[in-house]
A and B are shown apart, each in its own frame.
Chain A
Amino acid sequence: QQQVKQSPQSLIVQKGGISIINCAYENTAFDYFPWYQQFPGKGPALLIAIRPDVSEKKEGRFTISFNKSAKQFSLHIMDSQPGDSATYFCAADTGRRALTFGSGTRLQVQP
């Protein structure tokens, strides 16, 4: 099973708040989990990525939490800003470097 399930489909957060996006997978062969940010009309840009050997990774305001036993991972955006308003995609890779993307979450950060 190659599917990666992402939720919520859309999210509205107040400026300064925490945005949380969740993903779940079935394929235990996945060993690389990146998150991408995409603005309208642009290609996705890598935000942060994690491997199953760690449970959490933080880069600036972005944190990935990874639960290997539950086959779930999430993105936390701390101190959300209006400039963070975009579509966020989780993804997973088995090592053949072909990404399977989640369905996307449209984040709107209100000022």
Chain B
Amino acid sequence: GAVVSQHPSWVICKSGTSVKIECRSLDFQATTMFWYRQFPKQSLMLMATSNEGSKATYEQGVEKDKFLINHASLTLSTLTVTSAHPEDSSFYICSASNSGTSTDTQYFGPGTRLTVL
């Protein structure tokens, strides 16, 4: 149980295009999902907290208009990188908390490797 999937697992796009990444909780409902960014050999940095049915909460320094987050259902959150540039190339990872439990356990997706040419 507690499986989180991401799609796509990797994507290559041209500079200036937009890319959408999906995060799904497969066997549980997630009121809250989180989006992280990880550069090579570095730690995970929280980008935003996504709450079902409401606006995402962005961390300081993360551009809201560039990283659009939608959490339309209890099992799906999407991150859209708009007008992507090479510096946006990174490993994007989502996580989800099981809203049906009282624990703080976060389950992570397998990540999406974005390369912007």
A residues apposed to B, CB below 8 Å: 32, 34, 36, 41-46, 49, 89, 93, 95-104, 106
Task: Check A97 against B97 for contact (C-beta < 8 Å).
Answer: yes
- What is the CA–CA distance of A101 and B34 in the complex, to the nearest angstrom? 13
B residues apposed to A, CB below 8 Å: 4, 6, 32, 34, 41-46, 49, 93, 95, 97, 104-111, 113
Contact flag A99-B97 (CB < 8 Å), given A32-B104, A41-B111, A45-B108: no
Task: Check A89 against B104 for contact (C-beta < 8 Å).
Answer: no
Task: Check A101 against B44 for contact (C-beta < 8 Å).
Answer: yes
Closest CB-CB distance, B17 to chain A, in whole Å?
A: 23
Task: Check A99 against B46 for contact (C-beta < 8 Å).
Answer: yes
Contact flag A104-B46 (CB < 8 Å), given A43-B111, A49-B105, A97-B104: no
Contacts of A101 on B, CB cut-off 8 Å? 43-45
Nearest residue (CB) in A for B94 is: A43
Closest CB-CB distance, B13 to chain A, in whole Å?
A: 19
Closest CB-CB distance, B3 to chain A, in whole Å?
A: 11
- What is the CA–CA distance of A41 and B6 in the complex, to the nearest angstrom? 13
Contacts of A98 on B, CB cut-off 8 Å? 34, 46, 49
Q: Which of A45, A98, A99, A102 has the most CB of B within 10 A?
A: A98
